[in-house]
Amino acid sequence: MAQQRKKLFIKTYGCQMNVYDSERMRDVLAPLGYEPADEPDGADLVILNTCHIREKAAEKVYSELGRLRPHKDAKAGTKDPMTIAVAGCVAQAEGEEIMRRAPVVDLVVGPQTYHKLPELIAQTHRARGERLETEFEPVAKFDALAGDRAVEGYSAFLTVQEGCDKFCTFCVVPYTRGAEWSRPVDQITAEARMLASKGVREITLLGQNVNAFHGAPPSGREADGPWGLAKLLRHLSLIGGLDRIRYTTSHPNDMDDELIAAHGDLECLMPYLHLPVQSGSDKILHAMNRKHTIESYARVIEKVRAARPDIAISGDFIVGFPGETDKDFEDTMQAVREINYASAFSFKYSRRPGTPGASLPLQVDDTIASERLAHLQALLTEQQTAFNRSQIGMRLPVLFEKKGRLAGQLHGRSPYLQSLHCEAPAELIGQIAEVTITDASQNSLTGRLDAKVDAA
């Protein structure tokens, strides 16, 4: 008997790991007949894949649940009622609270139990009762999710590591994603090969602390002991068809010499490094429990630049952490001036219940934090624009990913992860071609197509 098609709408909040997890949820639900839908209206299953990193992100989920209520009411009493699930880090951190505050929710599922979604949904359908699935079992999760996966486009994420043991005092990740854990190299390699066989040209290895990767070695190499990220990158670089590899997000203390050397000699490792620093003040870094100083961070950047002089450096910053004075903030501004970023993400400190930072004295006034953020962002924007403009006149290999906004245009990415638009034939989608940069703004480059570099 033909399986009844059902509509699945997933809304993803937060980081790339959540984007990856949403894709995996789509994959595990496809055999149950769920097909992706672009909007919640009429959907049989709505999943909000949530982020808990800042308070605003968590509150957005409750607002969205309010907006979903009429959609759910419209299907109530029909033979296909709507099921609403909350997944991700808010689910992990506030499972019971969600059920209490938002009765519209049928199911709460934490990041390590997505492989059980089909079973949980079946149970919900049967009982229409509440289920809480938020225990940590990363091994089981990846075993069950590792098989074939649907692939869209030519650039894909691949999670290699999850969780974190570093316990920065502002961060919820160690509580929502659990202890640091790495997937075995063989499993990652199989997934990367599968992606390449489906036409993927670029993979981004993901992890909350991706450069702390220490996965079980491939079979036959057990004597090596756990492999670090540098070995993994070299291994994956041998897979035919994968022209570009990236990784994110890294911690400065885990940038070892082997990984830095890989930036110098692995051609497919793209010249872009996202290395969060958070603050330029040693006093604040200490209060954040970052376990690095601004000087040790700057030394890492210096070594990476020595290995790969053209590398684009990106970072994360938090302003307004408890105890941050004008002087501490000026130290951050000075660090940014000295390091010179190609791109960056900057945030106002968000007090997360349960983290040590939430109970620190000297919480910074919100107006002051907003002013500091505006200053920092103005400087970072200036640097990003200057970096982009420095490439005018250069020829860069661009991976074309999709059609651009204007007719006849394609959108692609430079090796430095910049967005690029250029007039080019649609046959170039999925291929790498050389482009001369003709103009640049804060967020993107414009170019003129030169010779095509290779064919897929």
**Binding of ligand SAM by 61 (CB under 6 A):** no
Min separation Cβ 249 and ligand SAM, Å = 4
- 209 is a site residue for ligand SAM (CB under 6 A): yes
- Asked if 174 interacts with ligand SF4 (CB under 6 A), we say yes
Taking CB under 6 A as the binding criterion, the range among 159-167, 259-267, 318-326, 361-369 that sits at the site for ligand SF4 is 159-167
Q: Among 164, 210, 232, 269, which residue interacts with ligand SF4 (rule: CB under 6 A)? A: 164
CB 392 within 8 A of CB 417: no
297 binds ligand SAM (CB under 6 A): no
Assess 166 for contact with ligand SF4 (CB under 6 A). Answer: yes
Residue from 92, 209, 279, 350 binding ligand SF4 (CB under 6 A): 209
Name the binder of 350 from ligand SF4, ligand SAM, none, CB < 5-8 A by kind. ligand SAM
| Residue 160's binding partner out of ligand SF4, ligand SAM, none, with CB under 5 to 8 Å set by partner kind | none
Among residues 316 and 423, whose Cβ is nearest to ligand SAM?
A: 316
Shortest reach from residue 362's CB to ligand SAM, in Å: 16
260/254 Cα distance (integer angstroms): 10
Does residue 112 interact with ligand SAM by CB under 6 A?
A: no
The C-alpha atoms of residue 190 and residue 196 are separated, in whole angstroms, by 10
| Shortest distance in whole angstroms from residue 240 CB to ligand SF4 | 34
- Tokens standing for residue 78: 């029909």
Among 173, 188, 262, 270, binds ligand SAM (CB under 6 A): 173
> Between 245 and 264, how does the x/- string for binding to ligand SAM read (CB under 6 A)?
----x-x-------------
Q: CA-CA distance, 387 to 357, in Å (whole number)?
A: 34
- The partner in contact with residue 287, picked from ligand SF4, ligand SAM, none with C-beta cut-offs of 5 to 8 angstroms by kind, is none
Q: Binding residue for ligand SF4 (CB under 6 A) from 17, 156, 173, 206?
A: 173
Environment class of 78 (CB within 10 Å of its CB; exposed 0-12, middle 13-18, buried 19+): exposed
Question: According to the binding rule CB under 6 A, does residue 352 interact with ligand SAM?
Answer: yes
Min dist. Cβ of residue 284 to ligand SAM (A): 12
352 binds, among ligand SAM, ligand SF4, none (CB under 5 to 8 A by kind): ligand SAM
Among the listed ranges 37-45, 92-100, 345-353, 385-393, the one in contact with ligand SAM (CB under 6 A) is 345-353
As a whole number of angstroms, the distance between CA 96 and CA 108 comes to: 9
Contacts with ligand SAM by CB under 6 A lie at: 15, 53-54, 170-171, 173, 208-209, 249, 251, 276, 278, 316, 318, 347, 349-350, 352
Contacts with ligand SF4 by CB under 6 A lie at: 164, 166-168, 171, 173-174, 208-209, 251
